[in-house]
Structure 1
Amino acid sequence: MTRHSRPIIAVVPAAGVGSRMQADKPKQYLTLLGKTLLEHTLEVLLSYTPIQQIILAVAENDPYLDRLDVIRQPKIKIVQGGKDRAGSVFNGLKAITQPHAWVMVHDAARPCLTHEDLDKLLQIEDDNGGILAIPAVDTIKRASAEKQIIQTEDRSQLWQAQTPQFFRADLLYRALQQALEHGLAVTDEASAMEFAGFRPHLVAGRSDNLKVTRPEDLKLAEFYLSRK
């Protein structure tokens, strides 16, 4: 199957509470430029023609979701999220019915994604899959438990992982299942694939594809979105 004929599904885990934001609601429902972070993110994915379906994994009894008109788009399917990101992605993968599908897993709180970066991911065809990432530009320190520097890392081989992360849906499903059964801390999909023996490709993305994690990130994301 060529990259032009394979089904492309997006999975968006959005069941988290975003405790580091110190906000009164989950961060995906914070508002920028008149829309929630989640709306900005979903609209980028909805407007990208190769994506056939978006599976949105949300918390049980989410009180904010029904307020968003965008979730009534026919491309969007809602599933219940898990207790953590890996569980939400796993539940999203269970809901994929198309054979031979490839999946783009994207953070709900990364609203500045561009179609140009998605085009780069679609160039990947082998089973290793790949992720958007940016080369480390800051000096990276390894610390002890006491927050003292142990050593300075060689940043020439270090990359900061982003999303989307792009894999064959069946392979990612098995990799996540295996990782969860072994009790591994799965902070992104690539780490599960690595544990399963794959070597995902690094696709150079844009630095403005930031994940809103702390309060100060909101203003920066607002600036980037206002320039689009």
Structure 2
Amino acid sequence: MNAPRPKQYLNVAGRPVIEWTLRRILAPDFVAGAVVAIAPEDPFWPASAFNASKPVVAVTGGRERFESVTNGLRHLAHSAGADTWALVHDAVRPCITPEELDRLVAAVSPDRADGALLGLPVRDTLKRAGAGQRVESTVSREHLWQALTPQLFPVRTLLAALEDVVGGETQVTDEAQAMELAGYAPALVPGAITNIKLTQPDDLALIARLLGESQPALP
């Protein structure tokens, strides 16, 4: 994005993106606290601290997403116990709604370790690109979903699945993929189209509007 600081620390609607995200993730009663993976010697994290109602702990992240998540899960396994469940969420998705969190938690069973993730059924026609960015083929969107976060799994099971891929040739791009490789079948839970990820500069205006509309409901 060519921004002066990492995306999660950009200000939107009066607060850093990561503060909005943490406030929303920490709001439900079923969430006990948060573990945030940050870069080594991150100069922005202390300045983004806020008066959270629940514990927020920072751990050192890794070069890849799955390495950062693994470090966070190891901390959770030690501090909260490996039998607890973890909501893994992108710091740059500040528009997560209480309804999405409720649906996600309702979709999992303590008797099954498969877990669940938020997603959206693919609506648009998909094209596979060939040489010169010309259409090579049309991809059927039947049964295809766009993966969102949070993704919810038992700490013990997800940690084992991620540790299996650390140092291997497979580079997983989300937690559900690691669970799939371990033989599990996570449930797909409908998310909200407003649960967008801050990726491009144009996303900031949309996120600001979404947060501004819902600001009175925040704690």
Is 2:83 the counterpart of 1:103?
A: no
Is 2:207 the counterpart of 1:221?
A: yes
In structure 2, the CA distance between the partners of 1:146 and 1:71, relative to structure 1 (3 Å rule), is farther
Aligned to 1:13: none
The answer to whether the 8 A contact 1:129-1:200 is kept is: yes
Is 2:58 the counterpart of 1:78?
A: yes
**Alignment map for 1:24-173 (pairs within 5 Å):** 24-70=4-50, 74-96=54-76, 97=78, 98-99=80-81, 100-123=83-106, 124-125=108-109, 126-144=112-130, 146-173=132-159
Quote the offset at 1:159 in angstroms: 0.7
CA distance in 2 between partners of 1:146 and 1:186 (Å): 27
In structure 2, the CA distance between the partners of 1:207 and 1:168, relative to structure 1 (3 Å rule), is same
Quote the offset at 1:182 in angstroms: 2.0
Q: Secondary structure at 2:33's aligned position in 1?
A: strand
Quote the offset at 1:73 in angstroms: 5.5
Quote the offset at 1:84 in angstroms: 1.6
In structure 2, the CA distance between the partners of 1:141 and 1:189, relative to structure 1 (3 Å rule), is same
The answer to whether the 8 A contact 2:117-2:187 is kept is: yes
Quote the offset at 1:69 in angstroms: 3.1
Quote the offset at 1:104 in angstroms: 0.5
CA distance in 1 between partners of 2:90 and 2:51 (Å): 16
Q: Which amino acid aligns with 1:69?
A: A
Q: Secondary structure at 1:165's aligned position in 2?
A: strand
What CA deviation, in whole Å up to 9, does each residue of 1:127-168 have, x standing for no partner?
Answer: 111100001111111223542222111112111110001111
Moved more, 185-194 or 141-150: 141-150
Give the TM-score of the pair, scaled to structure 2: 0.91
Q: Which amino acid aligns with 2:190?
A: A
Q: Secondary structure at 1:95's aligned position in 2?
A: helix
Q: Secondary structure at 1:162's aligned position in 2?
A: strand
CA distance in 2 between partners of 1:172 and 1:82 (Å): 17
Q: Which amino acid aligns with 1:141?
A: K
Aligned to 2:163: 177
CA distance in 2 between partners of 1:172 and 1:74 (Å): 23
CA distance in 2 between partners of 1:162 and 1:145 (Å): 29
The answer to whether the 8 A contact 1:134-1:159 is kept is: yes
Is 2:177 the counterpart of 1:194?
A: no
| Structure 1, unpaired ranges of 5+ | 1-20
Quote the offset at 1:181 in angstroms: 3.2
Q: Which amino acid aligns with 2:45?
A: L
Identity level (%): 39
Q: Secondary structure at 1:56's aligned position in 2?
A: strand
The answer to whether the 8 A contact 1:46-1:75 is kept is: no
In structure 2, the CA distance between the partners of 1:71 and 1:198, relative to structure 1 (3 Å rule), is farther
The answer to whether the 8 A contact 2:23-2:52 is kept is: no
Q: Secondary structure at 1:107's aligned position in 2?
A: coil
